[in-house]
Structure 1
Amino acid sequence: MPHQVIDGSDVGSADVTPLVQLVAPTGERVHEPDNDGDHPGYAARVAHLTGDDLRAMYRDMVLTRRFDDEATALQRQGELALYAQATGQEAAQVGPAHALAAPDMVFPSYREHGILHVRGVDPVDRLRLYRGQDHGGWDPAEHNVALYTLVIGSHVLHATGYAMGVQRDGAVGTGDPERDTAVVACFGDGATSQGDVSEALVFAAVNDAPVVFWCQNNQWAISEPTTRQSSVPLYRRGEGFGVPSVRVDGNDVLACYAVMAEALERAHAGHGPTFVEAYTYRMGAHTTSDDPTRYRERAEEEHWRQRDPIDRLAALLRAEGHWDDDWAGDVAAEADALGETLRAGVRALDAPEKTSMFDHVYATPHAQVAAERAWFEQYEAETAEQTAQDAATAEVAR
């Protein structure tokens, strides 16, 4: 896999590392160097995209950011218990999501809001977990998107196992786009330090599983920089397991689309896994319980604000004559409507039945869970009875 080599300072890094980039931060297309072997080049993978396609990506990125802003505000207002922001990572989510085929299955971590948006997951459902109203929030089979995972890295093993199942079902390498299925595991740089991710890479490599490991390196695992997690660029970890690996500019939506498209093509054809490091930046906090000012400098944050992925795509649209002020106004109005829908929908969510915590512990009936549920129901009934008695006694005393 050839790489476009970009000076590290252009993306905020001190080193010079192979990096796929098709659009510069200023919005101009990047000239791709001569390709080696039979590789068609990443630019060829986006050559078919029309102005309407680029505008669709821009719209999805804007709506993803508005979702982020509204969800953060709802948490500050006490409507959500917690929220994990994705501001700054829209290109690393919307780009690859647009490359997915309908049968493909996605296993997100907990901040893949852009991917869920593109896959059609209801915006209110995406916040049920963060409100504490539901263990998940949506039907994974409806959108081919698994539920959010809060345990760092655990879902990467699940994704690999799912991919091995797809492989054994004969749903790869058939040449039928309605049948061939790839699996995408989304995780952050911090997850690469977890044993589950290493184990997943082992299983995927030796089984040629049709899985794409999509690592969004936003450079901070909560308060720990990537330099405290790895002595080499993260994409090289994939190489160490024998998995073809590539590093892409995660703020370049077209490059992210192209790299994902190639990785999916390999997986669909039965040629095994790919590890992708999407080099981006978390512009907000790790979660709403985090204070990033305690561990990073404002100069660093400003450096990356100047490389905002939405601004970059807007500059490209203007440069290539695809920008229209009326259309942009419609997108802004749609974002406002999304904000209203989200605020009303989240506030309307009722508290779940207390016994629902027992409903999905196991897929089949389990004696211990049944006993615990019976005890809890008895406890609730006795508590309600005692409360009623206390109220009656207090009323008599008055």
Structure 2
Amino acid sequence: MIYLDNQATTPLAPEALEAMLKHLEGPDGTGFGNPHSPHKLGRQAAAAIEVARERVAALFPSGGRVTFTGGATEALNLAIRGAAGNGPIACSAIEHSAVLDTARTAGPEVVLGVDVQGRCDPNQDVPAGTRLIAVMQVNNEIGVVQESDKWAARAKAAGALFLVDAVQAYGKMPVASADMIAVSAHKFHGPKGIGALWVRDGVDLTEQQTGGGQESGLRSGTLSPALIAGFGAAAGLASERMEEDSAHVAALWDRARDHFDGWILNGSDTSRWRGNMNIRKDGLDVARLMSDCRDIMFSAGSACASGSGKPSRVLKAIGLSDAQAKSSIRLGWSRYTALEEIDEAAKTLKAAAKEQELWG
């Protein structure tokens, strides 16, 4: 098996697994305590959470606080629904559904356009009275990196809060400055089921999940020391390896670009994270390609929208026709991908695509 679907999820780092196991021990262990209990085991679990919180916070800008959530979807909902005030919510056309669908119900929603390269121009008009602007740092389908600093300044000038979905950026590059930032651990070799919302000091949100108010009165529910410890370990490892990982990913990109010469790249060639390659070949039957290449894990777009049968709305937003969007595939690699795997995957995928051309 060759795994090239690292935008959907990433393999768990061994260091993260080791950190988690300490908090999954049975009755003979000491790491299973409820972090909200006042006794010794509870205090130990709570201390482990705070150590992990510091490691997670280290990859965010200074001057803010980290609230743990069940993932980025919950974090984005908390940010959008919890932001006080009335007025439009402006979102780029290629935001994740967790942003667009939530903004639509909390709105009114205003969609910010993108160009054929997938870039969202910070100079475009924003309606008067806009209370929140959401522009993701790295797109999950086409890997395009937005001008987040310029959008932060644009939001400030408009008197709006700025929300960044940094799911595909956190742990891989410096995270953009914003008022609120959402991340998810499993996108950078941490465990699934845990994420965080970073909130700049001075920004107040309304609690959306009521109950015990465990996370500073903002988010209720018993925290998982195991998941949070894994999150913290993955964040610490990403901090140590960021330059090394980035160089490795760039080398894989160069190798893959050489192999897929003649295929058309979707999105900007320059303003992008090079761990994501979304390419198309006109007339390609992607469903058949997946069937013929079952030992290669890749996708036709976002895992969250797979199986819908509809063309990717991200690819449609950058101007592709239905046919072009449906003839596109997404390949994604990470720290644990080998150059030899790129070679083997490219050979297999291109041979299967050629077979389609020959036999129809």
Q: Output the TM-score relative to the length of structure 1.
A: 0.30
Larger radius of gyration: 1
Normalized per residue, the structure richer in strand is 2
Normalized per residue, the structure richer in helix is 1
